[in-house]
Amino acid sequence: MTYTLYLPAPPLTAYVNRLYCFDGHMPYPRERIMPLPTLDLKINLGGAIQIHPPAHPLQAVSYAESWCVGIWSTSHAVHWHPNTQIFGVNLKPVGAWALFNLPLYELHNQVIPLDALWGQFAAEVRERLAAALTMQARFALLEQLLLTRLRAMPYNAKWVQAAVAQIARAQGVLSIQSLSDQMGISQTHLATLFKQMVGALPKELARLYRFERVLHTVDVEHPVDWTQITYQCGYYDQAHFNKDFSALTGYSPTEYLRLRRQVSAEHPDHQRHYRNLPIL
């Protein structure tokens, strides 16, 4: 499996973290995807994949063409096709609102076929990507097609963007009450704006940024001090950390570390995709 990364140019950088492509045979046919404070748009040029929603883990929904993954509050399982070629757009919080004409809470913990959001344009994007001759040409085309979908942000989006930026800088360790007071709006109003333009409440987004810091902090090549990580990443105590970690990942910290180390030993290149863990 090869992973290709492409960084877009302004103005798309205000909405998109990166474009990427998974191409080839995935190291593990089934993986658990960790929740992060981003949304993803995926255009599939390979075989269909299956996604198992957490509420119904024994039920699988097949996705063959293109889809959008909202912000999730827990992990979910994916069954990869042996022939995988997926172009992805990793969207910043608020970024997806500029591309999709719907309240983003409708994407919360959901995977939505892209044609339900973009109509026939979703099929056009996929067909034009498939026809492009090189990887670079495909990324450049995808960047241009995304630009055509951008819509103007409303005036009150500046509050949401500022709040998201502060949550990200603090890596989730901050008071939402203090944040709303600083911005001069009520917590209730801020929560309403977040549901509309982010798809998650401010407290939930902060939780995901804090969890993302944990995943970045874990170094599988060295002994891991979970107590140190607990306080370094802003959790109240070890019990709070363990409960939150298990709720988000489906694993205890010890089980998670064992799987990360197994991936590092078996497929070192795949280890950098810390969001993915094999289901064995």
Spatial CA neighbour of 59 closest among 77, 33, 71, 43: 77
Class of domain 2-149: mainly beta
pTM: 0.94
Reported as type and span, the H/E element at residue 163 is helix 157-169
Please give the Cα distance from 22 to 44 (Å, whole number).
10
Q: What pLDDT does 274 receive?
A: 76
Q: What pLDDT does 241 receive?
A: 97
E strand intervals along 128-208: none
The structural domains of the chain, with segments of one domain joined by +, span 2-149, 165-278
List, in sequence order, every residue forming a beta bridge with 42; answer none if it has no partner: 67, 88
Spatial CA neighbour of 273 closest among 133, 109, 86, 119: 86
Q: What pLDDT does 272 receive?
A: 76
Q: Give per-residue pLDDT as tens, 235-249.
A: 999 999 999 999 999
Over its length of 280 residues, how does the chain's per-residue pLDDT go in tens digits?
899 999 999 999 999 999 999 999 999 999 999 999 999 999 999 999 999 877 666 678 999 999 999 999 999 999 999 999 999 999 998 889 999 978 999 999 999 999 999 999 999 999 999 999 999 999 999 999 999 999 888 888 989 999 999 999 999 999 999 999 999 999 999 999 999 999 999 999 999 999 999 999 999 999 999 999 999 999 999 999 999 999 999 999 999 999 999 999 999 888 777 788 998 7
Reported as type and span, the H/E element at residue 118 is helix 115-118
Q: What pLDDT does 56 receive?
A: 67
Q: Give per-residue pLDDT as tens, 156-205.
A: 898 999 999 999 999 999 999 999 999 999 999 999 999 999 999 999 99
**Helix 176-183 × helix 187-197 angle, to 10°:** 100
Q: What pLDDT does 111 receive?
A: 93
Q: What pLDDT does 237 receive?
A: 94
The yes/no answer on whether domain 165-278 falls in CATH 1.20.140.10 is no
Q: What is the DSSP letter of 236?
A: S
